[in-house]
Structure 1
Amino acid sequence: MGAGLIVLVLAACSPSQPADGQDNTTAAPAETSSVATPASAASGAAPAQAALSEDAVVELVNAAIQKHKLTDLPEQCLSYMVEDNGGKVIDIDVREKHDDSCGGDPGVAPRLFSFKLDRVSHQLSTDALDRADGEFQPID
C-alpha cells in the first residue's frame, strides 16, 4: 500500500504538469508544425506548390488578361473555372459572366479562352493568342 501511495505522489508531481498550473497541450502542436516546416523544405518539397490557392491562380490569369487586353469585357463580367487535379499544370477556363449588370442569359456562360498554369514555374500559356488553331502558347 505504501508503494501505491508513492506512485500517486510521483504522478502528481510529474514534470509533464507545468508548475504554474497552465495547460501546456497547445505547445506540442506548435512545436510539431515548426519542426515539420524545415523538414519539408530540406527534403526538397516545394512548399509554394501547396500554397498556390485558387485565388492566386485567378489573380495571375486576370493580370495576363488585362496586360494583353485579351477581351473587352470588364473584369466583373468574367468568371474563372479552375481545375486543379494535382498534376504539373492547372487548367483555367475564362468564361463570360451573365447577370443583371453584365447582361446575357444567366443560364449560360460561354467559354472565351483557356489558360494552363505550370505549377512549378508559374508560366502561363493560353489558347487566346491564336484562336484559329486553338494551340496553347506561352504568355507572360
Structure 2
Amino acid sequence: MRASAAELTSARTVDRGRERYLRAIGPHRKTFLDDQVKLNDPGASLFLINTLARDGWNGLLHYYEAEVWRLRGRRGDDAAAANAYAAAIAFPDAPPEAWRAHGYALLRSGRREEGRAALGRYLALAPTAPDAAMVRHTLSQ
C-alpha cells in the first residue's frame, strides 16, 4: 500500500480521463442543464451551474444561470436574469436562445434598439426556430 500511495502522490501526472469525459459529455451538456433547470429546484440548479463554472464560465452556463433566475420569479430575479443573459452573449458558445432572452430583457428595460439588435442576432443564429415568426412579429412592431 505504501508503494501504491507513493505512486499516486508522486510528481507523475495521472490520466484520470478528464479530457475524454469532457469530450464525451460535451454534446449532451445543454440537454442535461435544460433538464436540471426544468426540475424547478433553483438551489440545486445554481449549485450545479456554479460547480461546473469552477472550470470557467461560458455562454451556456451563464444562459442556464439566467434561466434559473427567470423561472424563480422572485423580486429582483429579473435583474439577475438580465445580467446573466448579458454575460452569456459575451461568449461565442452562447446558445441562440440567450440572444432571444437578452433581447426581450432589453426591450422590457426600455433599451429598444439594443433589444431589436439582439433579437435580430437570434434570428440570424436560429432562422428556423419554432418561435421565429413570433420574434419577427415583435421586430415588426
Question: What TM-score range do you get, normalising by the shorter chain?
Answer: under 0.3
The answer to which structure has the higher helix fraction is 2
Larger CA Rg, structure 1 vs 2:
1
The answer to which structure has the higher strand fraction is 1
